[in-house]
């Protein structure tokens, strides 16, 4: 059994040594081979974790058979996040072993696999509730006559963009570049691109 150990603490003042020592002991008792020990020193709510990214790379490349961690909250930042990871573990044939909580999803342990399936079902239910609450809130805002979605661009900015594009078409025969328009209007290049298409390329196409 090829195993990856994962340990995480939230601050530099803490250490992962206690977690790893316990996990190594469990591996020795089972006779498993530790392929890699992965550590993270970061809050569990952080979206990007170098150690966790490395762990998922091993999973996707099918380099390991089992992941060991002290507790589930060392791995996932939320129930849906945990369920997503567990689904990916299963899709790649990787089991999860959490000795501190009695969780073992190996094929030889049907009860542990049942735990994971229940966890994933609860996470799906939670996601559905969040989606439904979001839809209800949007409908309430629309009923109240409030704008939903990205803020509309100010009329004055659109007017300025139109004037700049008209001048460029008249003098150079082509609309200004997105970067030039962005600099002139003090906005992002992406927003300037939308205005360039609306008042530049579109008018050039109409003229032809």
Tokens 């979206």 sit on residue: 47
Could you give the residue numbers annotated as active site? 10
Quote the pLDDT of residue 2. 94
pLDDT < 50: residue spans in the chain: none
| Spatial distance between the Cα atoms of 73 and 119, rounded to a whole number of angstroms | 13
Q: What is the pLDDT of residues 158-168, one digit of tens each?
A: 888 888 888 88
pTM value is 0.57
Residue pointed to by tokens 């809050």: 43
pLDDT digits (tens, 9 = 90+) for 122-158: 767 766 777 777 777 777 777 777 655 655 556 778 8
Position 150 scores a pLDDT of 55
**What pLDDT, on the 0 to 100 scale, is given for residue 56?**
92
83 and 120 in contact (C-beta within 8 Å)? yes
User: What is the pLDDT, as a whole number, of residue 123?
Assistant: 64
Helix ranges, the chain (H): 17-30, 50-60, 79-91, 110-143, 155-172, 178-185, 189-196, 202-207
Look at residue 153 in the predicted model and tell me its pLDDT. 55
Other Cβ atoms closer than 10 A to 131: 10
């Amino acid at each position: 059994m090829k195993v990856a150990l994962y340990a995480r603490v939230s601050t530099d003042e803490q250490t992962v040594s206690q977690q790893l020592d316990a996990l190594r002991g469990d591996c020795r008792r089972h006779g498993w081979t530790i392929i890699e020990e992965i550590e993270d020193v970061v809050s569990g709510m952080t979206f990007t974790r170098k150690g966790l990214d490395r762990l998922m790379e091993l999973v996707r490349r099918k380099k390991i058979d089992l992941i060991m961690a002290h507790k589930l909250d060392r791995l996932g930042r939320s129930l849906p996040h945990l369920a997503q990871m567990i689904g990916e573990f299963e899709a790649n044939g990787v089991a999860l072993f959490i000795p501190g909580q009695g969780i073992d999803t190996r094929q030889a342990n049907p009860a542990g696999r049942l735990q994971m399936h229940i966890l994933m079902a609860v996470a799906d239910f939670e996601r559905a509730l969040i989606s439904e609450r979001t839809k209800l809130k949007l409908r309430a805002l629309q009923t109240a006559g409030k704008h939903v979605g990205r803020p509309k661009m100010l009329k004055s900015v659109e007017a300025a963009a139109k004037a700049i594009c008209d001048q460029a078409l008249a003098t150079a025969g082509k609309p200004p570049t997105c970067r030039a328009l962005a600099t002139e209007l003090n906005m992002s290049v992406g927003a300037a691109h939308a205005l360039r298409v609306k008042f530049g390329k579109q008018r050039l196409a109409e003229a032809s």
